[in-house]
Structure 1
Amino acid sequence: MKTLKNIILFFSLGAAVYAIYKKIDTVKREDGYVEECKKQIFARGLEIKDSWYFNLIENNYLEFVFTDFKQKNYKVIFSKIENKITAFTEV
């Protein structure tokens, strides 16, 4: 009976660790999209003073809004599938 409890405990612990690993992997992948979006904004010659983004894992896009040092606001739509900026507007 004690061996059965140890086996169940071992598999329960493994399942919990795997779930945590998958969550961390998903968060890292989503953060990669934000970093790639910032790189493409910098490539356009703009600087980011303040920024915020709206990102749902189930969406195929990332909505990124930022302010530059000239106090202009921009809204960027970044496609996760194509890995590029699809819309860039000044707000």
Structure 2
Amino acid sequence: MGSITGIIRNTNHAPIENVNVLIVSGPAHTDIAAITGADGRFSFNSLRPGNYLLKAYGQVESDEIPVPVLANKTPFVEIWLETTIAK
């Protein structure tokens, strides 16, 4: 089994909290969604090896991000989202 970990940042390099990160396609898996913590980090564990597509949904959404997962390996994914400031 493998894992994916990562971080969501804004264009100012600051981590973004409460972003939904989804596995939109890939081999059969038990985890399909994660929410970033205060440090902007997320993780998916116990994934079957294969090719996955992730997508992040915050104030804006990311493109689909391909992530290959190998057995006993944990790729690190950095996702950058533009954020808008309410006026």
Q: TM-score range by the shorter chain?
A: 0.3 to 0.5
Give the strand-richer structure, 1 or 2: 2
- More RCO (CA 8 Å, sep 6+): 2
Q: Give the structure with higher Rg (CA).
A: 1
